[in-house]
Amino acid sequence: MFLERLELTNFRNYETNTLNFDQGINIFIGANAQGKTNLLEAIYVLALTRSHRTANDKALIRWQQDFARLEGVVQRQTGKLPLELIISKQGKRAKVNHLEQAKLSAYLGHFNVVLFAPEDLEIVKGPPANRRRFIDMEFGQMNMNYLMNLSQYKLVLKQRNLYLRRLKYKEANDLIYLEVLSDQLAAFGAKVIKIRHQLLQQMQNFAQIIHQEITNQQEQLTFKYQTFVKTEQLSDSEEVLYQAIKTIYETNQKREIEHGTTLFGPHRDDVVFYVNGQNVQAFGSQGQQRTTALSVKLAEIDLMQAQTGEYPVLLLDDVLSELDDVRQTHLLKAFQDKVQTFLTTTSLDSVAKEIIKTPKIFTIQDGIVLDEPSS
């Protein structure tokens, strides 16, 4: 798939703008604080209905305006697909092919993107919540069953936590209702864990090949999915997994009431990365951590294509300056002639100029976009 056209209204520092893109490499170039990343962010928000930079949707709306509108035309294998997202103080409204969607979850998956940003290193170095967020965002794009079951899991989890707090403070005493919530949480949790396990295994397969190429066959990358059920149970059927999770809730009912919260579930899972058998989060060098993050992100492109039948659009937010020549070369070669790419930079260095073929260049200056001839 590729993004053919983007229209912005009152988004960040852009009043109105209409941009037509190339199917290959599109470069947003300019000095800092001119609006390059805002354009990349607009594409990301059009795809995922949320920003990768802020949780405050109001920050996306141009100063002293009531709303922001993003409109795009995505070319898929099945044809052109118009998308529209309106962000206001009242919330968000999304349209697919001019039809308003009752839920934002129904909008997701029509336009898939993979973002590379300097903060990607936090996928490896950061706390477990970073990795869960990464997994949920990316797997939710490529697998609607995952997205639906995760949404239901979070809904039941919120209800169960509220009720556990009520039980803790003696504001309720009906354990049957808790058992009903536990049963529902176990059912949705089993589905989420099952899909996570399967997709992480596939992502590991892609990442291992990429990592070996980057390291000249010197390093072997492996994943370990850390969850609260036994490792051998991950390969069991969904029904067996459900029964195992249900038993954990039954066994720990008193403990969870005492804590007033759900202590077990996929909302506490993690992924550990190993390089040559060593935990790279804890003991890897910064170079190994960067290579691991790059391998994982590049694997995401191949995994999304395997799951959806189409390559996602690639967004590179000022990452070339963060990579040495070897990693930069591998990254650029990975998407050349394969994936539509949007890249922000203050200038193209010698490595990028040597590899990137006929990019479409947009010069950004104070929220104004100048479309220049390809070079």
- Pick out the residues of the known binding site for ATP: 30-37
CA dihedral over 24, 29, 33, 35, signed as positive or negative = negative
Q: How many CB atoms lie under 10 A from the CB of residue 300?
A: 23
Summarize the annotated binding site as residue ranges.
30-37
Between vectors from CA 318 to CA 354 and to CA 201, what angle results, nearest 5°? Answer: 90
Beta strand spans in the chain (E):
2-11, 14-20, 25-29, 67-76, 79-88, 91-96, 99-100, 113-116, 221-226, 270-275, 278-279, 313-317, 341-345, 360-365, 368-371
Measured CA to CA, the distance from residue 334 to residue 30 in angstroms comes to 25
Note the helical H segments in 119-174: 121-125, 128-142, 144-168
Q: What 3-state class would DSSP assign to 204? A: helix
CA 247 to chain centre: 32
Q: Which two tokens stand for residue 305?
A: 């294509």
Contact 299, 161 (CB under 8 A): no
Asked if residues 141 and 304 have their Cβ atoms less than 8 Å apart, the reply is yes
Tokens of 121: 């290193």
Give the tokens for residue 32.
């800092």
* CB-based contacts of 216, cutoff 8 Å, min separation 6: none
Q: How many CB atoms lie within 10 A of CB 93?
A: 16
